[in-house]
């Protein structure tokens, strides 16, 4: 039984992790979340009160962070500014949260000698050609493209330096694109599902040939738990479920499951610097820690996700109009 401090636990992947931990372990959880536009307390409804508490605050608030880190056994750090498109229009919050916020947390974990797990992304490795037979491994050199991915890369390097210079008891994981419930409607899959619900045609950036390596958020959670329990200190583990799909195929799948014609979507202006392809080789995680993904049927996973957005309109509706208005300004 451990006390976990989960930063960013009111966001998409953090909230899925909190539900997963409280369901599958005896651990207790404190969430520290600033509740930015991306945080939603409704994602944390119905959790057992005796094992869960919520603290609203900023991971860059050194005094608050010091107190909360002292009081836990393990810090699991999800909090971030996470959306590439936002980072292209206003990079500053990405530096504040992803760099300074991570720095604040690792300083507290170092001071109190606490176990730290840093959540990161495959985007730190840049992108691959469509026909490249290689996939990302833990040895791939860092080559981030966007303000978002460069600040995530910077945060990874801070954690690595704190391990080497100060003996921080940390592990890092870099995961591919997640899908599932509680994902903000600014992101690709929920945006298109909720567009179709609203009678708006899905929007594909550029030609739609860009490839993402999709994993269900619950598989990400089980991998993070395995790393916290069995991972070697100082190591990085790549998390992926062999889910490569191009964006056009994903939109067509959503349209099929929602009873629309396969070509009922629009091409819109491409994202500047748009990474072409991500692909993860997760052999190290599988071989060393015995982890396996459970949600490997993407078709069924998308169907369940569509059902979730249909059944939980009150969760996403308040964000929808403002999100689409912002995209419209950008021609997307
Ligand atoms: P999200 O944007 O849905 O959630 C981020 C959460 O962090 C929100 O609840 C927000 O309120 C909180 N937050 C932001 N700034 C904060 C601050 N300064 N202090 C405290 N809380 C703050 O993001 P997500 O998609 O759930 O991503 C979570 C983590 O996983 C990020 O670190 C991201 O880089 C990483 N990741 C995401 C994906 C993906 O597909 N979404 C893939 C790999 C890795
Ligand atoms: O309307 C859209 N149309 C479209 O074609 C949107 C919102 C996106 N796209 C494309 C861009 C990407 O190729 O879909 C793909 C996925 O886009 P996003 O959901 O914005 O994700 P991505 O940029 O790939 O980054 C995500 O995965 C890695 C997360 O947002 C990051 O936090 C994570 O690190």
**Tens of pLDDT, residues 71-80:** 999 999 999 9
Tell me the CA–centroid distance for residue 25 and ligand 2, in Å. 31
pLDDT at 237: 99
pLDDT digits (tens, 9 = 90+) for 18-38: 999 999 999 999 999 999 999
Domain boundaries, the chain: 3-179+215-239, 188-211+244-274+297-324
Sheet of strand 28-33, all strands in order from the earlier edge strand to the far edge: 52-56, 28-33, 3-7, 74-77, 115-121, 170-175, 236-239
Asked if 3-179+215-239 and 188-211+244-274+297-324 have one fold, the answer is no
Counting every residue written for the chain, the total comes to: 332
Give the catalytic positions in this structure.
Answer: 122-123, 148
The confidence score (pLDDT) of residue 215 equals 98
Please give the share of the chain, as a percent, with pLDDT higher than 70: 100
What is the secondary structure of 176-233 as a DSSP string?
Answer: --EESTT--TTSHHHHHHHHHHTTPPPEEETTS--EEE-EEHHHHHHHHHHHHHHPPT
CA of 15, closest atom in ligand 1: 26
Closest ligand (CA of 277): 2
Tell me the average pLDDT across 252-269: 98
Q: Supply 94's token pair.
A: 């990405």
Using most ligand atoms within 8 A of CB, pick from 151, 177, 275 the residue to mutate for ligand 2: 177
Is the C-beta atom of 151 inside 6 A of ligand 1? Answer: no
Confidence (pLDDT) at 70: 98
The ligand 2 atom nearest the CA atom of 176: 28
Is the CB of 252 inside a 6 Å radius of any atom of ligand 2? Answer: no
pLDDT of residue 320: 98
Question: Does ligand 2 come within 6 angstroms of the Cβ of 123?
Answer: yes
Q: Give me the pLDDT at residue 315, please.
A: 98
Atom of ligand 2 nearest to the CA of 189: 19
Q: Are 279 and 244 in contact (CB under 8 A)?
A: yes
Nearest ligand atom owner, CA of 144 = 2
- Please give the CATH architecture assigned to the domain spanning 3-179+215-239: 3-Layer(aba) Sandwich (3.40)
Please state the rounded mean pLDDT for residues 63-91.
Answer: 98
Q: Which residue has the tokens 């760099």?
A: 99
Q: According to the model, what pLDDT value does residue 156 have?
A: 99
Task: Give the domain 188-211+244-274+297-324 fold.
Answer: UDP-galactose 4-epimerase; domain 1 (3.90.25)
Give the confidence band of 155 by pLDDT, cuts at 50, 70, 90: very high
Q: What is the pLDDT of residue 127?
A: 98
Does the C-beta of 108 come closer than 6 Å to ligand 1?
no
Could you tell me if the CB of 212 is within 6 A of ligand 2?
A: yes
Please state whether the predicted TM-score (pTM) of the whole model is above 0.95: yes
Mean per-residue pLDDT for 140-156? 98
Confidence of residue 130 (pLDDT cuts 50, 70, 90): very high
């Amino acid at each position: 039984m451990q006390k976990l401090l989960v930063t960013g636990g009111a966001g998409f992947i953090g909230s899925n992790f909190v539900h997963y931990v409280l369901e599958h372990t005896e651990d207790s959880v404190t969430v520290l979340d600033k509740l930015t536009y991306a945080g939603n307390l409704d994602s944390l409804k119905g959790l057992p009160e005796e094992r869960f508490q919520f603290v609203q605050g900023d991971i860059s608030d050194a005094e608050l962070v010091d107190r909360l880190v002292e009081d836990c056994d393990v810090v699991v750090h999800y909090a971030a500014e996470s959306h590439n498109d936002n980072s292209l229009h206003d990079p500053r919050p990405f530096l504040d949260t992803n760099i300074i916020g991570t720095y604040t947390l690792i300083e507290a974990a170092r001071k109190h000698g606490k176990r730290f797990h840093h959540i990161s992304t495959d985007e730190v490795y840049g992108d691959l050609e469509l026909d490249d037979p290689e996939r990302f491994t833990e040895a791939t050199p860092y080559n981030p493209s966007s303000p978002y991915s460069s600040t995530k890369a910077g945060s990874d390097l801070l954690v690595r330096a704190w391990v080497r210079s100060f003996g921080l008891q940390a592990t890092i994981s870099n995961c591919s694109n997640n899908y599932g419930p509680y994902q903000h409607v600014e992101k690709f899959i929920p945006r298109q599902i909720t567009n179709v619900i609203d009678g708006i045609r899905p929007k594909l950036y550029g030609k739609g040939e860009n490839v993402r390596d999709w994993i269900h958020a619950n598989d990400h959670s089980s991998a993070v738990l395995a790393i916290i329990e069995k991972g070697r200190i100082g190591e990085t583990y790549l998390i992926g479920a062999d889910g490569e799909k191009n964006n056009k195929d994903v939109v067509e799948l959503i349209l099929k499951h929602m009873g629309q014609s396969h070509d009922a979507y629009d091409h819109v202006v491409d994202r500047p610097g748009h990474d072409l392809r991500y692909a993860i080789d997760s052999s190290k995680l599988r071989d060393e820690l015995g982890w396996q993904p459970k949600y490997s049927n993407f078709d069924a996973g998308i169907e369940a996700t569509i059902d979730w957005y249909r059944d939980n309109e009150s969760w996403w509706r308040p964000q929808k109009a403002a999100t689409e208005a912002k995209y419209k300004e950008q021609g997307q």
